[in-house]
Amino acid sequence: MTLGGIRSVARCDELGAAPYSDDPAALFRPYLGPGYRATLARITTWMVEAGMTTRIDAAGNIVGRYEGLSPDAPALMIGSHVDSVRNAGRYDGMLGVMLGIETVAWFAARQQRFPFAIEVIGFGDEEGSRFPVSMLATRAVAGTLAEQTLDLLDTDGTSLATALETFGLDLAHLPQAARPREHVLAYVEAHIEQGPVLEAENRALGVVSAIAAQFRLRATVGGVAGHAGTMAMHLRRDALAAAAEMVLAIERIGGAGPDDLVATVGRMEVHPDVPNVVPGDVVFSIDIRAGTDAVRNRAADAIRAALADIAARRQVTLNVAVQHDLKATPCDPGLTRLMEQAVQTATDAAPRTLVSGAGHDAMVMAALAPVSMLFMRCRGGVSHHPAEAVMEDDVEAALRAMTNFIERFAAWASG
């Protein structure tokens, strides 16, 4: 085995700074920005060196294709995302794309081809760090854009249409990125775990059995603002005090469920946000995730009921609106077995299967084709932060697993 895993890490490191970032002091690579354009140009070079032809699709995704034994054969697609959150780590998403390139390079060096093509795709906006939706370009490829409004603005007031035009694309052509089902046999994604399980169990790799169902809610609490010095405590309708009790209820309900249930409040806005005024309004986020829709839905119902009881007792108003609703995405059982076998071959250890609490491009691509995911250990479970780190030996093991998976897939697909 060549040291393709080590090279994957080095390339992620190279792409972690300007000109591949819009922020010279940290990694921030939003969809269609200057850093994004530079990144796609660099990835194109690496794809060509690995033996692929390349193109940018109508959604701005980078696609490399390694032909099969016959032209126009359907493809096994390997991918992840190339965009990032602000002040990001270097391996979230990008490492999966680099491993896809190295997987192709491995087979190209041996002049080995299959009855199917291998395509490596870098999706443009999994994080939703520029426009107020996530996985827009992924949904374009999966053909699931129908219910999504495209009248979107970024925080600078730039429309999606303008951003695409500046990049050399056309909003009207965005649906043309959709791939026919018969053109894609399966989708495989390698990704850092973004959690502590593999590290805690001293495992290099894990196999994802499902991607958790997600609810993202927006709670608005309305109280009565008043002077902090003159409003008696027993007469207050303090929106922040009510919201604080609600946050504790959310934590309690999330902690009382099965291990795969989590509930988080990560953002809170207090109005009027003045030290000597009793808060009159509070808006906060609620993120609920679980391995199954049923567990997530029961938790959401319990949280809504608890918040309504608190609001009634404290005489504040409450509105809870759904902002994000993603169903649980089970990985294909047949592909999961192949990946488990590939991981066992690569690591000489029984494979560990786990549910992904984080969302991934695979959960959207499941509408187009069967999906499989491979996890790599990351230090401390840290992600979306500059401290994000991986071990080179783990990435080498991941590359061995990916190449072994494809060979197994070829035998499996042929019957």
Annotated binding-site residues for allantoate read 216, 276, 289
Angle between helices 4-14 and 392-413 (to 10 degrees): 120
What is each CA distance from 23 to 15, 26, 61, 86, 87, in whole angstroms? Answer: 12, 5, 21, 9, 8
Distance of alpha carbon 256 from alpha carbon 7, whole angstroms: 44
- Number of residues that this document lists for the chain: 415
Question: Angle at Cα 31 formed by Cα 27 and Cα 32, nearest 5°?
Answer: 110
Distance of alpha carbon 5 from alpha carbon 403, whole angstroms: 12
Tell me the three state secondary structure of residue 207.
strand
Contact 394, 204 (CB under 8 A): yes
Annotated binding residues for Zn(2+): 81, 92, 127, 191, 384
Annotated binding residues: 81, 92, 127, 191, 216, 276, 289, 384
Distance of alpha carbon 260 from alpha carbon 288, whole angstroms: 11
Distance of alpha carbon 344 from alpha carbon 348, whole angstroms: 5
